[in-house]
Structure 1
Amino acid sequence: MSRSIPAVLPCPQTRPALKAGFDQMARLLAATLGPRRGVVFHYESRKREIEPLTDAATIARRVVALPDRAEDVGAMLLRSLAWRVHQRVGDGCATTAVLAQAVLEQGYRMVAAGANPMRVQAGLHRAARWAVECLRGMTRPVATQNELNAIAFTATGEPELSLALGEMLYRLGPQAYLFIEEYLAAYLEKEYIEGGVWKAQTISPHLVNDPLNRRSFARNCNVVLFNGNLTQPEDVLPLIRLLAQSERKNLLLVAQKIEGQAGSALVATCVQNRERFGLQFVLANLIRAGENALRDLQDLAVLTGAKVFDPQAGDSLGAIQPADMGQADYAEVQEDRLRVAGGAGQAQFVQAQIQALQTYLEGLPFDDERRGEVEMRIGRLAGRMGILKIGANTHNEREVLRQQAEKGLRAVRAAQQSGLLPGGGTAYLHCIAPLEAMEVSDDEERMGVLALARALRRPFEQLLSNAGIEHPARLAHEIVQAAPGGLVFDVEEKELCTAEEIGLYDPALALIAALETAVSGAQMALSTEVMVLKKNPRVSYEP
């Protein structure tokens, strides 16, 4: 069917085409499930290169269209579902694809046998909600760093990177924010930041009082914040007089821009007092502007207890009083980074700001670009920040390593927030018996419940199939006979054991997100009666 001709695909052809596209995409992603990941080779025609892929999220991004237009709709639907889970929790792409394919397959059979699609969907919806409750009932909180290491390794497959991520997030906690820095050689190091970090630069190299590290710093300092530009001497003279009368002489002054005669006057005064009395001054221009700069200043105000002087609200430094200045134990500017630690802001106000940001974060879509900004603000307000330094010899290796680090970071954070479930598809197995015992209103709704119950075996069976292990039904039966969370299957040693013995866990959020997303996508495909195929549809390189 030519892409240059629009078309309408009627009901008898719609579901088979959607299912065929689902199946093609699912088979690709399913090959990567489990520790013995299969390899999918991607040929890049422009570079004339073959790229080996073992990560389901990367495979989903590389497949941008299928030759058959109708089947392409099903494939792109599943691609979008899997990518949505990846963005949310950093892992679970392959699980989502396998589960969605299995749910659609079971539901398709029942609808093809004459069941009402809407009643089957009702059963799927009820069953999904009940299965989620079962998963939550099995969830337990993270107890040790080794558990976080295991979560990171499951997501990344990189032992050393997983140890670094597990250690940093265990020490810093679920509110942590990590900067990822790249280096041009094989490298892996971690650094913990005391306090919070802002993007800012010193207004003059003359203020540097640690030449070896090229930084200016101040201990036990007053904090003054100005949301605007300081350009004239009269803008800063009241501040200079106030400092002369203050018991605490050291100063951190942060503004959007300090320049011109105001900057010259401040620098001259600061250098003179530093040389005569050993005082310390940090004068910083924010790199970010507009609303971002205001948010930076507001966070500094909460942490240090300082007032934000805003000329748009009629504020002027000419009216500054001692109570308008905040306090900090330490402040420094190095290159393009301002760090402030030990602010004198009231703890209840800091916690209120963190809670407000967390509530705002929960309401943002998982692909919203603002999420990173909000997570960074939470991390600096909580004083839980670090730098993960990674490096590789080539650009492609660095890109892959960064993607793996970001993936592992999301997975570990999901585990900290939602808790742990036994991995390897075994948690889903323990949901089957409760689903089969559910009470329903009619036989067609029962079909929807049974469709999900049967589909929940598929991730476990696929993982064993990828590892070349036979008789998954017998192994699944033994696992289900044990207490929930009691046994998992070690595909490396080919034996049943406890999750604690081999560290085989999944974040509860990842399994729940995969289940809910898979059922939602399968319901959409089952309920589609007609497809409208546009002329020359736009190819999306982002799922």
Structure 2
Amino acid sequence: MSQAATRRVIFQPATYRRLQRGVNKLVDAIRPTLGPRPRLVAVNRLLEGKMPEMLDNGGTIAKRIERLADPDEDMGAQLVRDMLWRLQDQVGDGTATAAVLFGSVYNQGIHYLAAGGNAMHLRDYLGKGLQMVMDQLSGMTVQVSGKEQLARIAESLCYDPALSRLLGEIFDIVGAYGRLEIREGRGRDLEREYVEGMYWEWGLYSRDMIADLSRYRTEFDDAAILISDLEIDEPQQLYPALEMALRAGIPRLVIVAGRLSARAIGFLLSNRQPDRFQLMAVKTPGWDTSQKAAALEDMAILTGGRPFLKAAGETFAHVTPENLGRARRAFADLRTFGIVGGKGNPRLLRQHIGHLRSAFNQSDDTVVREALLKRVGMLLGGAATLWIGAATELEIAARKEMAERTAASVRAAMMEGVVPGGGVALLACQPALQQALARSEDADERGAYRTLIKALAEPFRTLVSNAGYDASEAMTEVRMAGPGYGFDVTVGRAL
């Protein structure tokens, strides 16, 4: 017989203190990484038979500290860990700043409650104060564009000039919503490749459909596209589509289908006429029903075609030339299928992209956001691949991870703008809270504003201390210099 696990029940104030220890352990592990001159954090991997991992990214450190020995402390650490994971997934950067802010607010809050403060009132007023901070930051936000500006933002995050220059160039070309794939290269150098139009990683049904053996792909100019997710088992199911195309004088036809049997593929190959009727068949993009539905919707709107859907019980029996999508060029190989210059209704395409962008901005689900971002990028017609090179496989993996984080942050900067760095933007939010503090007569409200005012200075202090300077002296120097000044830790003075 198995015994049920023993449950421990702990009450206040012990819960506060134990959770606080867990919060502080994780925050203190990440704190040294804040700033342009961070100190590295070593993660022991001896049990895996590997050398220690040297890290300078708060989100990655939080992922590596999977569990603390004390279960109560681990609950506190989990509060920080989950927040940082979500932040890194959505934005790519800012995890160390967030950890330092969280630790300061949490510790001050515990101290305030121990002195008799009201937890619920404090929480409400912290939310009110946070909105003031957000409003102040919004007023400081400036938009960024151009490869030079984007490269500077990238270099402030990854300290890799060559990588930063390439990311600046890529995002200047493909845009904030552009599709970017970052892959491990085989050499030491960084390389990039641009793809015009949109493409899916689902290609031809047969290598016998490849027309250009030198490039191992097929391209059709002025292509007609029959869009579907139908499963074709018998050649007879294709008769209406091919007869319609021949009658209409369509010289180049792409058939998109969910499945083609060997007999159906053979039938299509035997009906090609190089000088009169060119034909290729590609797989419906997507692993599951929802992915396929999204791909068919995008393809139809981009090309002006009508999708034939298996779920609706449809066939090709009554297909007409008006049902076909059109594109200036279609291309495919065994792995990909792409469209350049889709001839769908531009107004409908703009509306569709607008709906996808709105859904992206409203979602906080990382998987959903990534899928929507990919769709918008494809529909806008810009895509790039960045190949990451370095001396060793370990260096390539580390550089690739850095490139992914930096790319996410540059993309977020293009979408939402940037504020002054180095903790200066947060310091500039303090006067609004100080004014609200002077007007307030409620003890809990005043406590919340004091908590936020102190917390907003913590990233600046930490950044300066990590660079080896006295934080109080740097703070005094910045305040005496006036608005718009920050502390440049690379030269050790206010600028």
TM-score by length of 2: 0.93
The 3 A distance-change label for structure 1 pair 320 and 147 is same
Higher RCO, 1 vs 2 (CA within 8 Å, ≥6 residues apart) = 1
Match of 2:23 in 1: 22
Measured after TM superposition, the shift of residue 66 of structure 1 is 2.1
Q: Is the 8 A contact 1:203 1:259 kept in 2?
A: no
Q: Is the 8 A contact 1:220 1:248 kept in 2?
A: no
Measured after TM superposition, the shift of residue 393 of structure 1 is 5.0
Match of 2:252 in 1: 250
Instruction: Kindly indicate which of the two structures has a greater share of residues assigned to strand.
Output: 1
Match of 1:47 in 2: 48
* AA aligned opposite 2:340: A
Match of 1:391 in 2: 389
Matches within 5 A, 1:198-237: 198-237=200-239
2:190 aligns to what SS in structure 1? strand
Q: Is the 8 A contact 2:229 2:284 kept in 1?
A: no
Residue number among 279, 286, 293 corresponding to 1:288 in the alignment: 286
Match of 2:467 in 1: 467
Deviates further, 144-153 or 81-90: 144-153
* AA aligned opposite 1:131: V
Measured after TM superposition, the shift of residue 98 of structure 1 is 0.7
Deviates further, 87-96 or 73-82: 73-82
Match of 2:305 in 1: 306
Q: Is the 8 A contact 1:233 1:265 kept in 2?
A: yes
2:33 aligns to what SS in structure 1? coil
1:456 aligns to what SS in structure 2? helix
Q: Is 1:357 equivalent to 2:395 in the alignment?
A: no
Q: Is 1:408 equivalent to 2:406 in the alignment?
A: yes
* AA aligned opposite 1:100: F
Measured after TM superposition, the shift of residue 474 of structure 1 is 4.1
The 3 A distance-change label for structure 1 pair 251 and 415 is same
Gaps of 5+ in 2: none
* AA aligned opposite 2:305: A
- Note the alpha carbon deviations across 1:104-155, whole angstroms, 9 max, x for none: 2322333333333333333322211111111111111114322222222233
Distance of 1:124 and 1:495 partners within structure 2: 33
2:330 aligns to what SS in structure 1? strand
Measured after TM superposition, the shift of residue 6 of structure 1 is 2.9
Residue number among 370, 374, 380 corresponding to 2:372 in the alignment: 374
Deviates further, 215-224 or 281-290: 281-290
Distance of 1:482 and 1:119 partners within structure 2: 37
Q: Is the 8 A contact 1:426 1:479 kept in 2?
A: no
Distance of 1:413 and 1:483 partners within structure 2: 31
* CA RMSD across the alignment: 2.1
TM-score by length of 1: 0.85
Q: Is the 8 A contact 1:184 1:394 kept in 2?
A: no
Q: Percent identity?
A: 30
Match of 1:343 in 2: 342
1:209 aligns to what SS in structure 2? coil
Deviates further, 472-481 or 430-439: 472-481
Distance of 1:321 and 1:429 partners within structure 2: 65
1:202 aligns to what SS in structure 2? coil
Residue number among 88, 108, 124 corresponding to 1:122 in the alignment: 124
* AA aligned opposite 2:435: A
* AA aligned opposite 2:494: L
Distance of 1:250 and 1:207 partners within structure 2: 13
Distance of 2:124 and 2:285 partners within structure 1: 53
Match of 2:442 in 1: 442
Match of 1:60 in 2: 62
Measured after TM superposition, the shift of residue 482 of structure 1 is 5.8
Q: Is the 8 A contact 1:425 1:459 kept in 2?
A: yes
The 3 A distance-change label for structure 1 pair 289 and 81 is closer
Q: Is the 8 A contact 1:209 1:215 kept in 2?
A: yes
Matches within 5 A, 1:457-536: 457-470=457-470, 472-480=471-479, 484=483, 486-497=484-495
The 3 A distance-change label for structure 1 pair 302 and 116 is same
The 3 A distance-change label for structure 1 pair 314 and 56 is closer
1:386 aligns to what SS in structure 2? strand
Measured after TM superposition, the shift of residue 481 of structure 1 is 5.7
Q: Is the 8 A contact 2:327 2:340 kept in 1?
A: yes
Gaps of 5+ in 1: 498-543
Distance of 1:341 and 1:18 partners within structure 2: 55
